[in-house]
Amino acid sequence: ETSANQAIALTEYFLAHYNIDSSKVYLHGYSGGGETGSLVMEKRPDLFTAFLCCATQWDGEMNNLVRVKTPVYMVVGESDSYYGSKPLKDAYAKLYDLYKVEGYSEKEIEKFLVLDIKTQKYFTDRGFTDQHAGGQTFAKDKDIMGWLFGEH
């Protein structure tokens, strides 16, 4: 929780003291950083244009995120060596259900909530045998980054 509070404070500081377009502030969390990112989304999803949540688990509550509707792209290897893929699959399902309760259609939800499970071939093609270590390649993936920056 301390790291989430620090990330929020740093973001608020930069927005207050530098000429930053607040509609272009993105959060990327990989592994433990993804856990921190989910806590940031619990507390201040309104600070960010979108959240790229990679190779991790979701630790934060989701109600504020649903209220604000900050887009989230979750990506993990199907056999991530540290977390596995189940934690993000479960988080996606819970978040999806919360949006359904709010009255959003499947098509609407698909625009701001994505679950991308990568096969071993994805990692092998990028020179990694370990899926968790290979998660670092998500930030270089044109499709993932295109979703993050192109659509939001």
Once rounded to an integer, what is the mean pLDDT over residues 84-110? 97
Q: Which residue carries 């939800």 as its tokens?
A: 109
Q: Which of 2.40.37.10, 3.50.50.60, 3.40.50.1820, 3.40.50.720 would CATH assign to domain 2-150?
A: 3.40.50.1820
pLDDT tens sequence across 64-86: 999 999 999 999 999 999 999 99
- Tell me the average pLDDT of the chain: 97
pLDDT tens sequence across 18-49: 999 999 999 999 999 999 999 999 999 999 99
Contact between 78 and 96 (Cβ < 8 Å)? no
Other beta carbons less than 10 A from residue 149's beta carbon: 13
- Compute the distance between CA of residue 17 and CA of residue 118 in angstroms, rounded to an integer: 39
pLDDT at 152: 63
